[in-house]
Structure 1
Amino acid sequence: MGLVPVLGVLALLLLSAAGELAAHPLAPSLLEIVEGGAGQVDVRWKTPANKVPGSDLRPSLPAHCQPDGGVLQEAAGTAIVQRWRVVCSAPLPGSTVGVDGIASSKADVILRLTLADEQVVSTVLTADRPTFVVPDSGGPGTVLRSYATLGVEHILSGPDHLLFVLGLMLLVASGRQLLWTVTAFTAGHSVTLSLAVLGFVNVPSGPVEALIALSILIVAVEAVRGPSERPTALRRFPWAIAFAFGLLHGFGFAGALAEIGLPAGEIPLALFSFNLGIEIGQLMFCAVVIGLYMAASRLPFERASQLVPARRAAAYVIGTLAAYWVFERTAATLAPLIA
């Protein structure tokens, strides 16, 4: 079994996963809990208006917290927001909060807690980890750990960003060049991520998502070109192109971080930690891809002549998915203008 058949199998799996993502393009839900004085806790529950049939997400609060009044509900764009208050007989630190029904919802939940001492704790609840134990103590260490974890989880759950990184891997010729290229991508999106989250730049998400897909398509088209063809600037200076496109991808990351929020007094550390997590996640993804490539290259009957068609096969898969996303996201952006 050669490298091309291996990539063919991986391509089918990737296409299947992309189809599932296209069928359920749901944004994460947001559970925001603010602990006040006298045991009063305000809860804000934001969910997408479009839900997977049969799914029923329900916040799960500690048993010592009881409702105090009714639930207020309002529409906010493409989401539904519910607000209510509970009274807790004990502080939240050390308690367990979570969301029931995540496994059937096809989407994660962002949990943001503001404790009585104004400490802000954020995390992502998933099907594998639907609950979270509120930490007893905060500080810089908690911020660093929480936001770095959020960065890792966000990049690894974003197929478009990972496909862009995979496309870059098809263009570089050495491990050192790959490290510089991926780091340049991180540096680029760190700039626009910070500017957007801090409110200095405001760009509509629809056009940004379409342009992100276009950047993946451009990299895929370049990866299809043979090594004998005249190299373009994209192939000669992949790190520079990665930085430029990273500026674009940063606006995409900013949307997720804006939902999570930044802790007052720890904004620089939170931004650094989130970007650090994204870099770690990218390197983890690169390590997995390199490991699969090395394993495939050691299979029987492997020939060096298979490397070029194997790279092209992977590039065609990336380009196909990217082209689909370009049309899908462009149509979604233009639809409200045409209607």
Structure 2
Amino acid sequence: MFERHEIVSKPDLEFVVSEPCRLLDFLLLKLSNKSRNHVKSLLTHGEVLVNGAVITQYDTVLHKGQKIQIHRSVTEWKKPKSVLDILYEDNDIIVINKPAGLLSIASDQEKELTAYHLLTDYVRMNDPRNRIFAVHRLDRDTSGVLMVAKNERMKLALQDNWADLVSERGYVAVVEGQLKEKSGRIQSWLKETKTFLVYSSPRVGDGLEAITDYQVLNETAEYSLLNINLETGRKNQIRVHMKDIGHNVVGDKKYGAKTNPLKRLGLHAYKLEFKHPFSDKVMCFETQFPKSFTSLFVKSGSNNIQNG
């Protein structure tokens, strides 16, 4: 989905080293009209070449006579706007439809290929001093509505009052099997192991309270399509609660799913509704259910029970 490709073309800028120095220091001197973060971004994205080789280490020592090229198109993202899929933007927030497979923010294993990193690059196209701020996140393999703040004031207002401001977080999930109860509420207290596996504690009050409401929209003999609303937003909450009731989210190998008909995790955040902390305006962002989800239920024999 996030394919990189090389393009052979002339560099945007080219310099020759006159005396030994660190690569970052050299670039800051030659690109004095750019911010330090902007220059670091060039290195991070592999857009700086030393004698024809891509170098990303800031402290690489340069020697006299080496040729430095800045080549904005060496490793650019293919169709970056389609990856971001921006649903809404104003002076305070950006809302995107995050694809499955993209981290919300950096992890120990992945620093660059994240929604945060891509959106940072996006806002800095206009001004290298621009920033974004994460206010919530989606699991890497969960797609859907993701919001970031564009200034620290908005970030703090959202984070400090998230539970009061957010009125609805709607998800659609494809789970294994048919549920006996076609609607219901799951409540538990979640904890996490040292290996980052979340589980429901058998003791009331032992962990973070998690509440998930669900309704079956459609079903076949093998799968059920659920509409899910979160009253709390805990890590892996839906995935753990579906495991708890014996109906794993499809494709969720981490929590024991046995099937993967979608070739991805069967979880999509389709709706986010909240009250703007400064204007008090209710804002609602929605996406359509992924076609791959609904296509599982157009086969003959499926039971459409949305109104049941």
TM-score w.r.t. the length of structure 2 is 0.26
Write 1 or 2 for the structure with the bigger share of strand.
2
TM-score w.r.t. the length of structure 1 is 0.25
Bigger Rg, which one:
2
Q: Which has the higher contact order (CA 8 A, sep 6+)?
A: 1
Write 1 or 2 for the structure with the bigger share of helix.
1
